[in-house]
A = this chain, B = another copy of it.
Amino acid sequence: MLGYVLNSHQQWLCRQLSDRGYLVDRQTAVNDTAEAIQASVREGMARADLIIVTGGLGPTSDDRTRDLIAELLGRPLKSDSEVLARIEGFFGRRKRPVPASTRVQALVPEGATVLQNEHGTAPGLAMEFESGSRSGLLVMLPGPPRELRPMFLNQVLPLIGKRFGAAPDFCCSVLRTVGIGESFLEEKIAGDLAPLIKRGLDVGYCARVGEVDLRFVARAAEAESLVQEAEAVARKHLRTFIYGRDPEELNAVIVRLLTEKGKTLALAESCTGGYIANRITNVSGSSAVFLGGVVSYSNDAKRRFLGVKAETLAKHGAVSEAVAREMAEGVRRETGADFALAVTGIAGPTGGTVEKPVGTVFIALAAANGTEVKQNLNQYDRETFKFLTSQQALDMMRKELVAGTS
């Protein structure tokens, strides 16, 4: 709660559960105090059938979850000889002495099921709880993701299936769009989605700068067909605004399309400073289609590496349609790539003029059949400017590759 650690458990556990049709009702984070930990578990027992608690099972003095929950449920702790033997084995294999503090990890609340930890020393624990006339399952998992994740997949999911039976029918699909804002996106599809929403479809929009995710969820006997019908509506009205499906990102789509078509790409970046090259090279396999790039941050670099003419720079300025064009054509010529993207602009916060304010950017796509240049105004902070500009450049490339198909 001091803000030094990012909670990645919520997203991971929610995704695992919801992908299997379980509805996650609430996630809570609290401080490491007895009152806060016991209060949140007590509240969870009054509300839910399944409670998953993460962290606080380790050997140090701030690891209090096991004790506090055993106390709350009135279950005395007993040392489990099998768990102790496993802990000793863990250190033995690493040829290290067993620290005295780790022995608390062998304490198991009465009646609890032990979940073996294949990647650490703290076992997980599962136990039944009663709250009023209701009963449910409480699971404690160790905090480190590499211990928690396999334990959840291999041991907790089967336990949940046995305890609660199969989850209800559930279907979820996330389509990714680029080049359209969320309001306009909803306007285009809302009418045709309305009857599906009446039949139980849930529609969500997640807008980021430069892209909007469109999420369809259904929980019903006809969940799958509802989501399929919704996708058909989206594809009919949004067409090429849809670039793919979660979790594939736009850079991965570009590498996939280039690979499928046996085409190569080169980059000349000024204001994005290597960000587009970085995104492309984040994709495994990009070396087969990406020949290289130039980060021409100075005028000299634009002339020397890309052959941009001194007259063009003098006449139009570095941020201009003419320079973007020469940059793209220059890097295409130098590398022999099929396609070249070039960007030149003013990322800010300084460097703008009345004629070319901060955020002005020219994006060029050079190909065998000519060069296309677009001008945009991306008025954002520096890193957002880079991301949005890279989305626009990659989307020009995508549209060219998709259009080339038909």
Contacts and interface: CB of A to CB of B under 8 A. Distances in A.
Contact of A335 (B1, B24, B146, B300): B300
Nearest to A183: B99
Nearest to A31: B25
Contacts of A16: 3
Contact of A209 (B102, B146, B300, B336): B146
B6 A11 contact: yes
Contact of A5 (B11, B24, B298, B383): B11
A274 B284 contact: no
**Assembly of this chain: how many copies?**
2
Contacts of A101: 183, 186-187
A135 interface: no
Contacts of A349: 284
A171 to B, nearest CB: 12
Interface in A329-358: 334-336, 347-351
A228 interface: no
Nearest to A29: B27
A211 interface: no
Nearest to A1: B24
Contact of A182 (B60, B100, B284, B286): B60
A2 B282 contact: no
Of all A-B residue pairs in the complex, the 9 with the closest CB atoms, nearest first, are A3-B15, A273-B281, A274-B277, A292-B301, A274-B274, A3-B14, A99-B183, A293-B295, A274-B278
A10 interface: yes
